[in-house]
Structure 1
Amino acid sequence: MVLSSDTKNKAFNKDGKRSGKRPTDSRPHDSAPAKPGFAARAAATKILAAVIDRKTPLDGMLDAEGGNPAYKTLGESDRALVRAILNSALRHLPRIEATISSLLDSPLPEGARALHHVLVVGAAQMLYLDVPDHSAVDLAVEQANRDPRNRRFAKLVNAILRRIGREKQDILEKVAGVPAMPAWFLSRLEAAYGASAALEISETQLEPAAIDLTVKSDVEGWAKRLNGVVLPTGGVRLAAFEGSIPSLEGFGEGEWWVQDAAASIPAKLFGSLAGKRVVDLCAAPGGKTAQLILAGAKVTALDQSANRLKRLSGNLARLGFEAETVVADMSKYQPDELFDAALLDAPCSSTGTTRRHPDVLWTKGPEDVAKLAGLQGRLLRHALTLVKPGGVVVFSNCSLDPEEGEDLVARLLAETDSVERVPVAAGDWPGLEAAISPLGAFRTTPDMLPLADGFASGLDGFYAVVLRRRS
């Protein structure tokens, strides 16, 4: 029966329909004003449904201008709450679903997806956010009452969520062993890294991403000024703080830019770039472009989106940097003169960025990984034609899946004699030796880079390899 264990709602039969005497209908009229906070929960539920059921990326729906209509109507504090609910719900989704299932004698009725999302949003607030239980319960019940599909389940919503509130600590302990990622991806991690490492990655990605900076100069000085710590990558990681990034010292003066520690690695693998012509393929938003310029290269930044290149130019302007920008599909791009080097940070499944993009594992699947790996292979082969004989291409992406990294490069090298690997020396990266593979490629995982208390540990999952075009 679709009933809450130990708190069975006698108003329902096994089909979820009302049985016996109809209980008093205490639901609000649809025309009655909604309770404070209702709009935020309703928006979170709609967006969660779009992510899980329709595989819609979260970032676009949370865009202040072009995002979800329900989200755009909210004030900033409610928008912040929606973001917090969604991030918590998506990070902990398997555990939340396991909790809900454990409180039901049988699964929810087929097609009751709207009810499922209401329960997930309510449970996420109660288990993982500092939201009063009574608010989460009351507003979830109101959501059910205001939705014709869910009205008959309002008492069930109330019973399940109230039980979660009463048994919160026991529930959290019971589901702590449930891997916090979908089975399809966990199995791929186990195959690539082993079961123990896969679970460690799964646990690490539950924590929000840290704020890392790449600075122009005086790394130690900026770490002290901003209450940060110097990382093995040469960047600065900030301690937790309240406020906005633009309000920090040095932002307006262009002394640094935000860039995850792992994302800063590929541009540092070229060696000396002074005076060299380098093309940054798929360049926007421009963090790696700025690194190449800082290293002394004459940079051409290429992207197929004019709007993204406009944003890149704005970011470079704040930093006092300039680059030639080219709007083009890189797979068809043919320069007038070959470059000394090329950076290809290729479009990928982004499975290494789940700390900051927790929707990725719910909007992607194995078929997406395979499709993107095929695209990356084509782009990499073309990138190698854009450099002079003896020129270097650094290929990277933010995927944890070897199909988009190690396997792709091994296949390329097996198919052609015109390209060779340039191994990265672990000794050149103190503190990150574990990220250098036996073949000399970079492979970071979210469970790497443990730091002292006060600073978030971990970094994005990245793959990067240096390839040379033979003469």
Structure 2
Amino acid sequence: MKPSRFAPPTEVPGLATRRIAADILDGVLHKRRTLDDLLDGAAAHPGLKTLSDRDRALMRRLVATILRRLGTLRHVLSRLLDKGLPTDAPRAQSALLIGAAQILWMDVPDHAAVDLSVRLVQADRRAAKYAGLVNAVLRRCAREAEPLIREVEAQSLDVPSWLMARWIAHYGEATARDIARAIGHEPPLDLTVKGNPAQWASRLHGETLPTGTVRTLLQGPITMLPGFTEGAWWVQDAAAALPARLFGDVGGKAIADLCAAPGGKTAQLAHAGARVTAVDRSPGRIARLLDNLTRLSLQAETVVADATEWPGESFDGVLVDAPCAATGTIRRHPDVAWLKHEADIDALAALQRRLLQKAVALLKPGGTLVYCTCSLEPEEGEQAVDALLAADSTMRRLPVDPAEVGGLAEIINPQGDIRTLPCHLPNPDPRLAGLDGFYAARLVKA
């Protein structure tokens, strides 16, 4: 009798972690579900609740490493397989990816990586016949893969070809390859703190960035870190923390935050004294935003609505953090590279144009509009703002001064907008380097 795919609690240590990782990989690569949904959403994998904190962290890191290095992994495995990856047994494919990722990039003994991957296929009815193949290929991987990786290091295989071609066309080949290298590294943990960044950097064994963000390499459950329970900080990439600062002094001002969830920018504005109205079309995401604000002891009015159709009122400032292809966040969300298509960009750009038009309509004369996206694609950034300025004579650009962004002049483009790249903010330790790719422009209504 073949063992069940859902083995009892007495199974080999570590096997449940790999099985759940395989299920989540299948959800991303074959069912096109987002990693966030599978890890934290309403449809999160039920097996996550059975894992210890340590195993849950290992599983997340394993899945992220595979997605971050997927192109290279597929290349290496194709060179080690005579007939290519098995197409009739997804679990065999997942087991090979899981085993190879551990051998090549993770601190897991080779024999354990091989053994657990073999057990993974043995427990699956369709994949069991490939147990011998998985064993042989992963043993070869441990012996031979390093030169295969060196052979393709310069080819940027971990970025889809259509996306790499776009980056080369817009940023130049050298910068595009710098971006590709940067997103290959696991990102640090960035925190926006309510006050005293130096003190929190010391408590969290991190450093303070020029922009005021605290950056740390601490791992484990966020809820267990000092300062979480008392609401002293929230998780927010250093680049994502910049757009809300472009409003300047917001004390007492009415600010609308469109597409606001999960609420990092809402929290910044509320903490700075603004009267914030946070708008998002998803009730679940608004609920998450409210949970975050409650922990932080901050307040904002919340509205569940499609921002493009929301009647609203007149505001001193409007922040549009528009839905986008999110290609600037691939180092934090490596599934984005494999879930998005070039055709998505045009559809999203149309939505961004409607959001910009709505933002202008909500803005008082003399008010400030900040538009941002976490995308590296010009259609979703520079081109969207240029089109608005060409069509609406009431709006003008107010360039960003380097002093407003910690003196980081390299993140300001010739038009005076913010354009951060994953290869910005270098550090001798690549684990402490980089930013999400963000675009932000500040406009003022006449």
TM-score (norm 2): 0.91
2:369 is the alignment partner of 1:369? no
Match of 2:201 among 195, 205, 223: 223
Greater CA deviation, 105-114 or 380-389?
A: 105-114
Aligned to 1:461: 437
Shift in Å, 1:284: 1.8
Within 2, Cα distance between the matches of 1:255 and 1:40?
32
- Deviation digits for residues 403-440 of structure 1, max 9, x if unmatched? 21112222222233232222212354344111101011
Alignment of 1:170-185 (within 5 A): 170-179=147-156, 180-185=158-163
Question: Offset of 1:228 from its aligned partner?
Answer: 3.0
Match for residue 126 of structure 1? Answer: 103
Q: CA deviation at 1:106?
A: 4.1
1:193 Cα offset (Å): 0.9
What one-letter code is carried by the residue in structure 1 that aligns with 2:396?
E
State TM-score, norm by structure 1.
0.87
* 79 and 217 in structure 1: CA distance in 2 versus 1, 3 angstrom threshold: closer
User: Residue 314 of structure 2 aligns with which residue?
Assistant: 338
Q: Provide the residue aligned with 1:38 in structure 2.
A: 15
Q: Is the 8 A contact 1:99 1:175 kept in 2?
A: no
Equivalent position SS for 2:366? strand
Q: Equivalences for 1:131-210 in 2 at 5 Å?
A: 131-179=108-156, 180-210=158-188
TM-superposed CA distance for 1:123, in Å, is: 0.9
Query: How many angstroms apart in 2 are the aligned matches of 1:189 and 1:451?
Result: 23
Q: Deviations over 1:328-366 (max 9, x none)?
A: 22111112x311110111111211112221111111111
**Offset at 1:266?**
0.3
Q: Distance in 2 between matches of 1:36 and 1:218?
A: 43
What amino acid is aligned across from residue 119 of structure 1 in structure 2?
A: L
Indicate yes or no: 2:323 matched with 1:350: no
**Partner Cα separation in structure 2 for residue 39 and residue 307 of structure 1:** 29
2:284 to 292, 307, 311: 307
CA distance in 1 between counterparts of 2:294 and 2:17 reads 37
| Structure 1 residue 263, shift from structure 2 partner | 0.7
1:280 Cα deviation after fit: 1.1
Asked if structure 1 preserves the Cα contact closer than 8 Å seen for 2:86 and 2:93, the reply is no
- The alpha carbon displacement at 1:30 in A equals 2.9
CA RMSD of aligned residues (A): 2.4
Q: 1:164·1:171 contact (CA, 8 Å) conserved in 2?
A: no
3-state DSSP class of the match of 1:358? coil
> Counterpart of 1:87?
64
DSSP 3-state at the match of 1:262: coil
The equivalent of 1:236 in structure 2 is: 214
Cα distance in 1 for residues equivalent to 2:236 and 2:176: 25
8 Å CA contact 2:317, 2:369 repeated in 1: yes
- CA spacing shift, 1:257–1:74, aligned 2, 3 Å: closer
Deviations 1:101-150 (A, max 9, x none): 11133434655544322211221111111122222222322333343433
Equivalent residues in 2 for 1:2-21, closer than 5 Å: none
Deviation at 1:172, TM superposition (A): 3.6
Larger radius of gyration: 1
- The whole-number CA distance in structure 1 between the counterparts of 2:192 and 2:427 is 18
Which of 368, 375, 378 lines up with 1:402 in the alignment? 378
Amino acid aligned to 1:143: L
Summarize the Cα distance change of 1:214–1:71 in structure 2 as closer, same or farther, 3 Å threshold.
Answer: closer
Residues 94 and 178, structure 1, Cα contact 8 Å, conserved in 2? no
1:422-437 correspondence to structure 2 within 5 Å: 422-437=398-413
Partners of 1:250 and 1:70 in 2: CA distance: 29
Change in CA separation of 1:331 and 1:411 when aligned onto 2, cut-off 3 Å: same
Corresponding residue number in structure 1 for 2:231: 254
The Cα offsets for residues 212-259 of structure 1, whole Å up to 9 and x where unpaired, read as 222223333333343332212122222x23554444443333332222
1:127–1:172 CA contact under 8 A, matched in 2: no
Alignment-mate amino acid for residue 92 of structure 1: R
Preserved CA contact (<8 Å) 1:65 1:72: no
Please give the alpha-carbon distance, in whole angstroms, between the structure 2 residues aligned to 1:451 and 1:110. 42
Q: 8 Å contact 1:421–1:467 — kept in the other structure?
A: yes
- Aligned letter for 2:136? A
| Aligned partner of residue 269 in structure 1, secondary structure | helix
Letter in 1 for 2:316: D
Aligned partners of 1:65, 1:415: CA distance in 2, in Å?
41
Number of aligned residues: 441
User: Percentage identity across aligned positions?
Assistant: 48
Structure 2: which 5+ residue stretches go unaligned?
none
CA offset at residue 200 of structure 1?
A: 0.9
Aligned mates of 1:376, 1:221 — CA distance in 2 = 39
1:60 equivalent in alignment to 2:60 = no
* Distance of 2:131 and 2:295 partners within structure 1: 52
Q: Secondary structure at the match of 1:181?
A: coil
- Hey, what does 2:358 align to over in structure 1? 382
Using the TM superposition, name which of 372-381 and 171-180 deviates more: 171-180
1:448 to 409, 416, 424: 424
Q: SS of the residue aligned with 2:247?
A: coil
Q: Does structure 2 retain, via aligned residues, the 8 Å contact 1:64–1:72?
A: no
Deviation at 1:57, TM superposition (A): 0.3
